[in-house]
Chain A
Amino acid sequence: MTDWGDRWVDGALQELHGSRPPDLSARVLLALGEPARGTLPKLEPPRRTVGLRWALASAALVLVSVLTGALLSRSGAPVAERVVQVDLTVHTGSLECVEVEQGAVRRSQSAAGSRVSFAARAGNRLLTAAPCRFQVGPYGELATGPATELEVRQMSVSWQQGVVAASSLTIAVVAGVVTWHSLQQSGTARAGETVQLDAGPRGEQAVASAAEIERLRQRVQQLEQQNQDLQLQATRTAAEAPPLAAAAVEPEPAPAPVQTAAVFADERYADLLAKLDWRTMGEVTHEMGPMLVDLVQRMQETGELPMDLAAKVGALNMKLVQQVPALMESGLPGSGPNGAYTHPLVSANILATTLDAAGLAMDQGQRDRIAGLVRQFSIETQAAMDSVQEFDLQKLGLEAETKDRFYREVSSLLTPEQQRVMFPDGADRYDGASLFHSSLFTRQFVDGVSAANPAEFARSVAGDVGEHLGLDDQASSQVRAIVERLGAAPELWQDRADEIERGQLHMLKRGRVDVALRHQVAILQEIVRTVPMSAAQKKKLLSMKRIFVPLPK
């Protein structure tokens, strides 16, 4: 028999030493379906029969024209699992159809622009190796992620007087992710979820119209935003314009309309999104990304900071810095100004205009899927910031981990060419060399400590911590002993710091900060547990946000 009291103490001890309950709210929201405002959308389980709703509406529905094949049965009752040929029109990417027919498996590949007929039989599958967007007969438009596999689970059709009155198609996401848009609904489903697609009450045309309406709605939003921006610009220009010269001057041709509206919206931050100059941020990011990599390479080659390039980077960076005041006022969650700058909503919009500047704009499917990621990771970022952690440093680590996961997931939706714009070759070697990495905001909290061994590292750190907390000599000695003992982990010392890390820019090798942060949390826990401190000192320690990173000599 289990000693349950002992089990409780065991679990509680593990929790006191780091194994704590996570905040699962974002995860549960995600699992429930695409997060949305108000009532959550539901992925309904497949229906066994066509519902009353359809029976009532059936007189007005004629969908036979969009179903190119013949139905095997034409009884008056609703029919499930019949083989219906559905038209697939591939808009972008490539789609593979896997159909089982009389015991044989038939595979066919369809490229963008082609239209194929697909047997919507249970078990038949649609595969996309790379992102793909395609229209599924009257059911709506699907946009799939890379390595996505969809399987037909059920096809339900009802007949009225010899014509198809209504139908629904249930597909399961076996792998990957799919976003769908139809007349009644849109959303995202991931591996393990099912999606039920209903043909709209006015057939394919209505669905096409819905897609068109959505596109037009977005276009109207963009134009409204553009109009506001231009009005704002005009107001500023009028206010700042010098007095007119007496002589009439030939007016300069009006500049071409500038697209500055944010691609990814969030009504909570509408003011911020309208204030920022996304086009400039994209152009600067596009230009600056490769320059940062070049800067690192030239420092490696010469051992010195290339001043000409550093000046150019500095000038470009100033353009980004000009956006910081608006970011600071926005209330976007994040640690410090760069915390807001790396918020998923901001990063995604910068990425969109960066790709525009590179001539590799996101297509609508990518925008839709990334919009879903922005919503999901905005929630996760907020959850990370709101989470209850013993130390503020742990929140910082969680925020960084969340943002890096966001960048990875967004990157997975891009083409290889787009990925190279987001992450130029070599940008992943040093912190600060990529404009799409958490180090953009964590760097401000990092203290690189050049040391030959853990003892030297501990001396330096204990001095700083002791001074920060106002510890007496005895307590400082205790801190030093703890840092020396727990800071001796081999993974902190196996890689000697190179020229770049010791140089003026303090760009540390990617991964070094993560490891140091992990060990520092253990160090802080031990300090809290064993070093006598006043309540004020303890409070300071819990809220300390400096990450001491050993730079082995």
Chain B
Amino acid sequence: MHAVRSITEADVTRLVQQHQAEVWRYLRFLGASAELADDLTQEAFLQLLRAPFEERTPAATAAWLRTVARNAYVKAFRRPPFELAELDEIEAVWTGFAGADAGQQALDRLRLCLERLDGRARDAVRLCYEERRSRREIGDRLGIGDDGVKSLLRRTRAVLRACVERAEGA
């Protein structure tokens, strides 16, 4: 049984601030641009708040918001951006990283793992994510081709992922 009542500004602010980071990160994880993630996160909250307000558990609210956000994201495309069969895997990967704190702990671990990177892997991450260089520019700097940059970045991300997971298990 859920309590239904009128919602106040304080409720809105509390709910948005409690869940916005997770919804936004989830949309970015699905592949949304930052701008689209902003819009769809807002849309998800509007759907939640425009309905008769039900006080749910934080986990239930987060799950509800993720579902609405995911549906809105899928609707933004003429063809689904991922296979429906992948949904279980998507949820499993997301909940694995997000945990109970919207992924903050995993992000902190990633930051530590990043500090341990060196050599070309570190340069590639800096050029790609910090300086927002194109693959060609990164390739020019590192003396490798486009495909080489792509492989290097993918390998580096795999190393980082393994590092985060190891830290999680530690």
Q: Which residues of A contact B (CB under 8 A)?
A: 1-2, 4-19, 21-25, 27-29, 31-32, 35-40, 42, 522, 525-526, 529
A17 CA to B7 CA, complexed, in Å: 36
Q: Which of B55-63, B66-74, B105-113 contacts A (4 or more CB under 8 A)?
A: B105-113
Contact B45 A28 (CB under 8 A): yes
The answer, among B7, B46, B83, B114, for a CB contact under 8 Å with A16, is B114
Contact A4 B90 (CB under 8 A): yes
A552–chain B nearest beta-carbon distance, Å: 22
B122–chain A nearest beta-carbon distance, Å: 10
- Tell whether B129 is near chain A: CB-to-CB under 8 Å: yes
* A-side contacts of B13, CB under 8 Å: 25, 29
* Chain B minimum-CB-distance residue to A36: B9
* Chain B minimum-CB-distance residue to A3: B154
| Given known contacts A22-B38, A28-B45, A36-B9, A13 and B20 CB-to-CB distance under 8 angstroms | no
Question: What are the 5 A-B residue pairs with the smallest beta carbon separation, nearest first?
Answer: A21-B24, A4-B93, A17-B129, A25-B16, A21-B21
* Chain A minimum-CB-distance residue to B83: A1
Contact A13 B157 (CB under 8 A): yes
Contact A28 B115 (CB under 8 A): no
Contact A28 B16 (CB under 8 A): yes
* Chain B minimum-CB-distance residue to A37: B9
**Known A13-B129, A529-B114; further 7 A-B contacts with Cβ < 8 A:** A6-B161, A24-B45, A28-B49, A40-B7, A40-B9, A40-B12, A42-B50
B36–chain A nearest beta-carbon distance, Å: 12
| Given known contacts A4-B86, A29-B9, A9 and B28 CB-to-CB distance under 8 angstroms | no
B33–chain A nearest beta-carbon distance, Å: 9
* A-side contacts of B110, CB under 8 Å: 9, 12-13, 16
Contact A23 B17 (CB under 8 A): yes
Contact A12 B107 (CB under 8 A): yes
Task: Classify chain B's interface size.
Answer: 35 or more
The answer, among B42, B157, B164, for a CB contact under 8 Å with A28, is B42
* B-side contacts of A39, CB under 8 Å: 6-8
* Chain B minimum-CB-distance residue to A35: B9
A21 CA to B45 CA, complexed, in Å: 14
B37–chain A nearest beta-carbon distance, Å: 8
Complex interface bits, B1-21 against A, C-beta within 8 A gives 1, otherwise 0: 000001111001100110011
| Given known contacts A13-B160, A17-B130, A19-B28, A1 and B9 CB-to-CB distance under 8 angstroms | no
B89–chain A nearest beta-carbon distance, Å: 6
* A-side contacts of B115, CB under 8 Å: 529
Q: Could you name 28 residue pairs across A and B whose Cβ atoms are closer than 8 Å?
A: A1-B83, A2-B82, A4-B86, A8-B29, A8-B93, A9-B161, A9-B164, A10-B157, A12-B107, A13-B114, A14-B28, A19-B28, A22-B24, A24-B20, A24-B38, A24-B45, A25-B13, A25-B16, A25-B17, A27-B42, A28-B16, A28-B49, A29-B13, A35-B9, A38-B8, A42-B50, A525-B130, A529-B114
List residues 68-114 of chain B with CB under 8 A from any CB of chain A: 82-83, 86, 89-90, 93-94, 97, 103, 106-107, 110-111, 114
Complex interface bits, B39-51 against A, C-beta within 8 A gives 1, otherwise 0: 0011001100110
A195–chain B nearest beta-carbon distance, Å: 16
* B-side contacts of A36, CB under 8 Å: 9
| Given known contacts A16-B110, A526-B130, A32 and B12 CB-to-CB distance under 8 angstroms | yes
List residues 120-170 of chain B with CB under 8 A from any CB of chain A: 125, 129-130, 154, 157-158, 160-161, 164
Contact B130 A24 (CB under 8 A): no
B72–chain A nearest beta-carbon distance, Å: 14
B126–chain A nearest beta-carbon distance, Å: 8
A32 CA to B11 CA, complexed, in Å: 13
* B-side contacts of A15, CB under 8 Å: 25, 28, 107
A303 CA to B46 CA, complexed, in Å: 56
* B-side contacts of A37, CB under 8 Å: 9
* Chain B minimum-CB-distance residue to A17: B129
Contact A31 B12 (CB under 8 A): no
A24 CA to B37 CA, complexed, in Å: 11
The answer, among B30, B42, B103, B106, for a CB contact under 8 Å with A24, is B42
* Chain A minimum-CB-distance residue to B5: A39
A35 CA to B115 CA, complexed, in Å: 44
A2 CA to B46 CA, complexed, in Å: 30
* B-side contacts of A11, CB under 8 Å: 25, 28-29
Q: Which of A2, A7, A13, A14 has the most CB of B within 10 A?
A: A13
Contact A31 B157 (CB under 8 A): no
A42 CA to B46 CA, complexed, in Å: 12
* B-side contacts of A1, CB under 8 Å: 83, 86
| Given known contacts A4-B93, A9-B160, A28-B49, A16 and B129 CB-to-CB distance under 8 angstroms | yes
Contact B17 A6 (CB under 8 A): no
* B-side contacts of A29, CB under 8 Å: 9, 12-13
* Chain A minimum-CB-distance residue to B125: A13
A38 CA to B11 CA, complexed, in Å: 10
A27–chain B nearest beta-carbon distance, Å: 6
* B-side contacts of A7, CB under 8 Å: 29-31, 93
A99–chain B nearest beta-carbon distance, Å: 33
A11 CA to B93 CA, complexed, in Å: 13
* B-side contacts of A522, CB under 8 Å: 130
* B-side contacts of A25, CB under 8 Å: 12-13, 16-17, 20
Q: Which of A9, A22, A35 has the most CB of B within 10 A?
A: A9
The answer, among A16, A32, A42, for a CB contact under 8 Å with B107, is A16
* A-side contacts of B24, CB under 8 Å: 21-22, 24
A10 CA to B45 CA, complexed, in Å: 25
A385–chain B nearest beta-carbon distance, Å: 14
* Chain A minimum-CB-distance residue to B81: A2
Contact A6 B158 (CB under 8 A): yes
* A-side contacts of B129, CB under 8 Å: 13-14, 16-17
Contact B157 A9 (CB under 8 A): yes
* B-side contacts of A2, CB under 8 Å: 82, 86
B52–chain A nearest beta-carbon distance, Å: 11
Contact B161 A8 (CB under 8 A): yes
Contact A12 B106 (CB under 8 A): yes
A5 CA to B114 CA, complexed, in Å: 16
A1–chain B nearest beta-carbon distance, Å: 7
A255 CA to B5 CA, complexed, in Å: 54
Contact B28 A5 (CB under 8 A): no
* A-side contacts of B130, CB under 8 Å: 17-18, 522, 525-526
A69 CA to B9 CA, complexed, in Å: 43
